Amino acid sequence: MRIFWALLRRELASFFFSLTGYIIIAAVTLLTGFSFVVLINTLGTDPVPVPVTELFYLSFYFWLILLLITPVITMRLFALEKASGTFETLMSTAVSDFQVVAAKFMAAVIFYLLAWLPLLACLGVIQHFAHQNSTLDAGTVGGMFLGIMLVGSVFISLGCFASSLTRSQMTAAVISFVLGVGLFSLAYLAKQIPVTEQWQARALSYFSLFDQMDDFARGVVDTRAVVFYVTITFLFLFLTLRVVESRRWK
């Protein structure tokens, strides 16, 4: 555990040592700002029957942030260490492959959540000017951040996997972007195709990220969605672990 904390600390710190980390935060803040403007416009014209938090998802900014930012966060994780050779120094100490993968993933998730924090400020602004306590309740905000974290974990685990495959950060980013867009397209498909009794359609319905995120934003925590996200995340982390182990395969 001691080793895990040391690794996690270094991984997290390295986001803030590099310019990339700040650029990511700035980009997320900018995009959140845009979506805030859209939100204010919507609120200013018509009365809306949905919670404020859900409106964030109705704009495409959320997905844009998710698709663009997670590859940038994760591309560095393994690829840079492999390219610079520090992977060799790291792996010739008594760390386990699992500890390394877990620490890198955790650090990426924590950084990703930090980048989302400005959103809280946006919500705070709305609350302040709405003069209503009901605009924001702990349930919806908590559900929203849980959703952000879970769906983010899925994309970050995709990124971890992509980064472990290659020595080039660019390649890693492209692979994880493609995987992310693939998942996003499935979700889009799931929204277009009505749910029927056929197994294909039912299987596809699990990929309906949009509806699931709407639920989270309403403060509804659907265990099916939670299990689905956690499973996908673990699947890709497991694949990452196998890739990291593969250097020791005969």
Residues that bind other proteins (CB under 8 A): 2-3, 5-7, 9-10, 13-14, 17-18, 84-86, 88-96, 247-250
| In the complex, minimum distance from the CB of residue 110 to other proteins, in angstroms, rounded to a whole number | 17
C-beta of residue 32 within 8 angstroms of C-beta of residue 64: no
Q: Which is nearer to other proteins, 231 or 246 (CB)?
A: 246
| In the complex, minimum distance from the CB of residue 88 to other proteins, in angstroms, rounded to a whole number | 5
Q: Which is nearer to other proteins, 64 or 102 (CB)?
A: 102
Q: Which is nearer to other proteins, 84 or 231 (CB)?
A: 84
Q: 249, 211, 238, 166: which is closest to 58 by C-alpha?
A: 211
Q: Long-range pairs for 91-97 at CB < 8 Å and ≥24 separation?
A: 91/247, 94/3, 95/3, 95/7, 97/241, 97/244, 97/245
Q: Which is nearer to other proteins, 78 or 116 (CB)?
A: 78
| In the complex, minimum distance from the CB of residue 50 to other proteins, in angstroms, rounded to a whole number | 44
| In the complex, minimum distance from the CB of residue 213 to other proteins, in angstroms, rounded to a whole number | 35
Q: Which is nearer to other proteins, 82 or 218 (CB)?
A: 82
Place of tokens 């992977």: 87
Spatial separation of the C-alpha atoms in residues 89 and 82, rounded to whole Å:
10
Q: Which is nearer to other proteins, 137 or 245 (CB)?
A: 245
End-to-end Cα, the chain, rounded Å = 29
| In the complex, minimum distance from the CB of residue 172 to other proteins, in angstroms, rounded to a whole number | 18
Spatial separation of the C-alpha atoms in residues 182 and 95, rounded to whole Å:
34
| In the complex, minimum distance from the CB of residue 163 to other proteins, in angstroms, rounded to a whole number | 16
The three state secondary structure string of 12-67 is HHHHHHCHHHHHHHHHHHHHHHHHHHHHHHHHHHCCCCCCHHHHHHHCCHHHHHHH
